[in-house]
Amino acid sequence: MLLKSSTLILCLSFFVFSEATKIYYKPFVLGKQSAPAQANVLLEYNFIPESSSFMISNRDLSFVDGKYCLSLDSKAEDCFQIADLKHDQDYDLVINGKNTKKVSLKNNQHENGSFNISAVVSSSLEMPKTPLDLLKKTTKKYEDLKKNKKQASRNNIKNNIAKPVHEELENVEKDEEEPSFMAKNWRYLIVGFLIYKLVSGGKTATKETKKD
């Protein structure tokens, strides 16, 4: 049952990725498009999972050189781009890798003109995911956990560097011996000693006077 479900998912994914997208074109005159009953298909493009690339097909060469309104809907009044189409010019169809419905047709000056159109995926954006890529997907939660772990490691390293220095300063302060009693009170001791000498000297002089 699981194998059948996986096969069905892969088949559906292949169908979605392979479904062609059509670009329609309408004449554009003096800033306003004429409104034909239905626009013509300029080209089709679709994603090929096997090669992870886009394929351009069904180019319409029946147009007359000039300005055209490009759209993804045959009945749309608005257009996503006003393009100057010429039979002797080649083009690149630049496709947004994250949203394949966002495209832009640009002149390609590097090839001989014969209205060849090449599919180009924007280099700054990712290609559409294939079914196999789903197996390698990492969740946002897992990414957040990895970031939190790295941040915690940085904080631990920082704290481990600062902690010994702090402890060392505390140890130095503790190791400093307090001044002795003599060092603290030497002034008072000297004064007391001088008073003692004076008193002792006076008593000795009095005794000698009495003897005489």
Q: CB of 48 within 8 A of CB of 55?
A: yes
- Three-state secondary structure string covering 16-80: HHHCCEEEEEEEEECCEECCCCCCEEEEEEEEECCCCEEEEECCCCCCCCEEEEEECCCCCCCCC
CA–chain centroid gap for 209, Å, is 105
- pLDDT of 65 above 90: yes
Q: What tokens appear for 60 in the block?
A: 């319409």
pLDDT digits (tens, 9 = 90+) for 89-125: 999 999 988 888 899 999 987 667 889 999 999 866 4
pTM: 0.49
pLDDT at position 94, please?
93
Give the max Cα distance, the chain.
154
pLDDT digits (tens, 9 = 90+) for 10-39: 443 444 445 789 999 999 866 554 555 468
